[in-house]
Amino acid sequence: MESLQPFRHVLVIEDQKARRIVVLEQSTYSVGRESSNDIVIYDRIVSRHHATLLRIKKSPRHDSYFYRIIDGDLEGNKSTNGLMINGKRCESHNLKHGDVILLGNKAKLSYYILSNAIDIALFNPIESAKVESLSEATISWSDNYKSTAIESEKLEQFDRDDLMRLASFPELSPNPIIEIDYEGNLTYLNPAASIKFSNMQRASLEHPILMGLLAQAPNVEGNLLLREVKVGEEVYEQYVHFLSENKLIRSYLFDVTERKRAQENLQYQAFHDSLTNLPNRAFFNEQLAIALANAKRNRNLMAVMFLDLDGFKNINDTLGHTIGDRLLQSFAKRLSACLRGGDTLARWGGDEFTILLPQIRSAEDTIKLAQRILNELKLPFEISENQIYIKSSIGIALYPQDGQDAETLVKHADAALYRAKEQGRDRYRFYSSSMASKASLLLKLEGLLRQALNKNELSLHYQPQADVKTNVLTGIEALLRWSHPELGQVSPVKLIPLAEETDLIVPLSEWVLQTACKQNRLWQEAGLQLVPVAVNFSLRQFHQPNFVKMVMRTLEETRLEPQWLEIEITEAAIAHNLDYALQTLQSLRQIGIRFALDDFGTGQTSLSYLQKFSFHTLKIDRSLIQILKDNPHDSAMVRAIVASGRSFNLRVVAEGVENLQQLEILQRLQCEEVQGYWFSRPLKPEDATQFLVRSRVEA
């Protein structure tokens, strides 16, 4: 004789025939529409052998068990329509109290774990008669009971309302229901409560669910109390009814753990950056407000640090945003390791980060931290087989001398960051009052430059290049100019770096290329001298993924033949990614575009570059020409460059030639072409046209 189980496992079946109840006691049940199944489902859409129920012990040493439902039979044959359990499609599922199983479109199985019919009667005596008759007709607790479904003729004694009331019994509820009396005695637990809180009897009034309820009984208005209770890792909403007439306290519990976790996750996301998991700007501002209030109250010093990654945009452009994102994550971890307890590191946006030091003894504390950060960045970041060296610029603002409110402190730390970048990057700078006007000017210039692209305030000037012996025009370089109604002529020294610091360098470079190619085509159609027009490209623009397509599209739109375009790039653009540079130049060279290596002599370019990249032109940087004097020591570098260019059969152009002495020295050094004020200043389009007209006549 088997020992009596503390719980009964029940299926309430609803199909086209009727609603009926099956008490599960066998180890295996076959479910389907064929009559040979242990549980027959009357629905044509249900498969012949739709599912299988298996009884599984929770532990070899424990008598308790549960049922698992499997799609199809035990030979691996699946049903046609599958199983839908609690709204989700499953191939197998460990059943829990209250689970709802759909077979096809209409057939439904509801699974419950019941203690016994006597418990139901005790909880709701009004229904006891019906439960007892149901028990007599369909459920026998005798040892020789063989599980079976309610016969259809016995079902006739119960109408639909009876069955609906049965399904609404506390015993069938998937949510825990608990009752105690005013003496603190536990009078009722439904099966869901017994399963969920197995230690309830032992813990009694010390259990979190029951704790404090007796003390609340005289004080609750309206006999209803709602509270939130945490039991282990789970959170419940507890609705407590104080039944004063019966001297009972009844609790209904609803598991809100997932909802609370979702709320906490939303709260976390609202104040944290999803990429680095650092606090975000909103969180930083909250902490800064708290720190300011404490600093004012306690009269202590505090600091805000603003920092970013030097050259991060180039990494994104050349290695891709995936590598860039991983670099930001690694950078954030290194920064976090540098901080003291109580400091706050936040991602401000993009590659910008802020650090709050809520309490410092002196400015020396910020210097130590800044230096620690710069030292940590000397080691490379290993990301996807790439060794990436990164540097950072840091701006520092102190409270109270640099600002007494949050907005001012952050703004002044940002201004100090700009100054650190201007002075060479990879360093920190404290804020000073002279920085505010410069930072404001840069911000204003950026906004005006964006407008200039749309208001036709930008133009190109063209500076000719000539043969030093014959004065014959050999080429012409397009140079960007910005004439603003209020600011006047904005120097290229300010314009180009500003564009490179923002996203404007990309559309700006495309506009320059389009305008230069169009102008050269107009000169050709007018029958003027055929010369290549040279266009400069920054490192960032050159490393754009669509650079080749952009150049080819521009030539097609302007109808300029490729040999009349010369692209100028610097040593830095090549050295940044040799493989990319080689592939890009080869692609454009194949269609006939010319290339010039600009600013040669100022970097660490290997002579092997001249052979590997097959340039057409080598341009000597103007800084070498400006110091050129008629003595062997000063002219040695230029002599070596000219010789290197001639050995590689390159056209060598000296930039920045401004006087006769420089020209004569270059002639003696056998430099054949020059560009500079001695020959011609940069010319407006109409003046450049007249220059070309004169050149044609003189030729």
Q: Domains for the chain: give ranges and CATH numbers.
A: 8-118 (2.60.200.20), 174-259 (3.30.450.20), 276-433 (3.30.70.270), 460-693 (3.20.20.450)
Residue 121: its pLDDT value, please? 36
Contact 81, 101 (CB under 8 A): no
Residue 163, pLDDT above cutoff 60 = no
How far lies 26's CA from each of 22, 41, 61, 174, in Å? 11, 18, 19, 23
pLDDT of residue 59: 64
Q: What is the pLDDT of residue 634?
A: 66
Per-residue pLDDT, 202: 86
pLDDT at 633: 67
Contact 135, 147 (CB under 8 A): no
Q: 306-328 in b/e burial notation, b at 16+ Cβ within 10 A?
A: bbbbbbbbbbbbbbeeebbebbb
Beta-carbon contacts of residue 489 (< 8 Å; ≥ 6 apart):
481, 482, 483
pLDDT in tens, 400-417: 999 999 999 999 999 899
Give the contacts of 67 (CB within 8 A, at least 6 positions apart): 9, 24, 53, 54, 55, 56, 94, 95, 111
Q: Does an H or E element contain 676, and which?
A: none
Residue 578 one-letter amino acid: L
pLDDT band at 699 (very low <50, low <70, confident <90, very high): low
As a whole number of angstroms, the distance between CA 360 and CA 342 comes to: 11
The residues that bridge with 306 in the sheet, in sequence order, are 354, 395
pLDDT attached to residue 230: 92
Model confidence over 449-466: pLDDT tens digits?
778 777 777 889 999 999
| Residue, of 306 and 16, whose pLDDT is higher | 306
Rounded Cα–Cα distance for residues 621 and 601 (Å): 6
Task: Copy the structure tokens of residue 580.
Answer: 């990319």
So what's the pLDDT on residue 502?
65
Q: Does the pLDDT at position 360 exceed 90? A: yes
Could you tell me what percentage of the chain is helix, strand and coil, using 3-state DSSP and rounding each to the nearest 5?
40, 25, 30
Can you tell me the distance from the alpha carbon of 624 to that of 605, in angstroms, rounded to the nearest whole number? Answer: 15
Per-residue pLDDT at 506 exceeds 70 = yes
Buried b (16+ CB within 10 A) or exposed e, 619-654: bbbbebbeebeeeeeebeebeebbeebeeeebbbbb
> How does DSSP assign 508-532, residue by residue?
HHHHHHHHHHHHHHHHHHTT----P
> According to the model, what pLDDT value does residue 445 have?
67
Terminal CA-to-CA distance of the chain, rounded, Å?
Answer: 121
Are residues 524 and 564 in contact, defined by beta-carbon separation less than 8 angstroms? yes
Q: Determine contact, residues 530/564, Cβ cutoff 8 Å.
A: yes
What token pair was written down for 535?
């266009």
pLDDT band at residue 441, thresholds of 50, 70 and 90?
low
- 30, 229, 6: which is closest to 118 by C-alpha? 6
Question: Please, are residues 548 and 542 in contact by the beta-carbon 8 Å criterion?
Answer: no
Mean pLDDT, residues 307-322: 82
Confidence of residue 599 (pLDDT cuts 50, 70, 90): confident
**Mean pLDDT lowest among 72-76, 357-361, 428-432, 572-576:** 572-576
Can you tell me which residue has the tokens 């035990």? 74
Torsion, Cα 465 466 467 473, to 10 degrees, reads: 110
Percentage of the residues of the chain whose pLDDT score is greater than 90: 39
Residue in 103, 132, 109 with CA at minimum distance from that of residue 120: 132
What is the average pLDDT value for the chain, to the nearest integer? 82
> Which of 401, 392, 336 has its CA nearest to residue 363?
401
**Contact at 8 Å (CB) between 24 and 11?**
yes
pLDDT 10s digits, 206-217: 999 999 898 887
- The pLDDT tens digits for 476-489 are 999 988 877 766 77
Q: What is the pLDDT of residues 514-537, one digit of tens each?
A: 999 999 999 999 999 899 999 998
Determine contact, residues 35/25, Cβ cutoff 8 Å.
Answer: no
The mean pLDDT of 56-60, rounded to a whole number, is 74
Place of tokens 């404290």: 430
Check pLDDT > 60 for residue 200. yes
Considering the chain, what percentage of its residues have pLDDT values greater than 70?
A: 84
pLDDT at residue 222, rounded to an integer: 60
- The pLDDT-based confidence of 61 (bands split at 50, 70, 90) is low
Q: Is the pLDDT of residue 684 over 50?
A: yes
Two tokens, residue 251: 């609790």
Q: What is the pLDDT of residue 378?
A: 87
- Specify the residue for token string 């009876």: 162
DSSP secondary structure code for residue 12 in this structure:
E
Is the pLDDT at 358 greater than 80? The verdict is yes
Q: What is the mean pLDDT of residues 659-670?
A: 90
Looking at residue 220, what is its pLDDT? 67
Give me the pLDDT at residue 204, please: 87
pLDDT in tens, 30-47: 999 999 999 999 998 999
- With a cut of 80, say whether residue 122 has pLDDT above it: no
- pLDDT band per the 50, 70, 90 thresholds, residue 137: very low
Q: How far apart are CA 376 and CA 368, in angstroms?
A: 12
Distance in angstroms (rounded) separating the CA atoms of residues 245 and 639: 110
pTM for the whole thing?
A: 0.45
Task: Give 282-300 pLDDT, tens digit per residue.
Answer: 899 999 999 999 999 999 9
The C-alpha atoms of residue 207 and residue 200 are separated, in whole angstroms, by 7
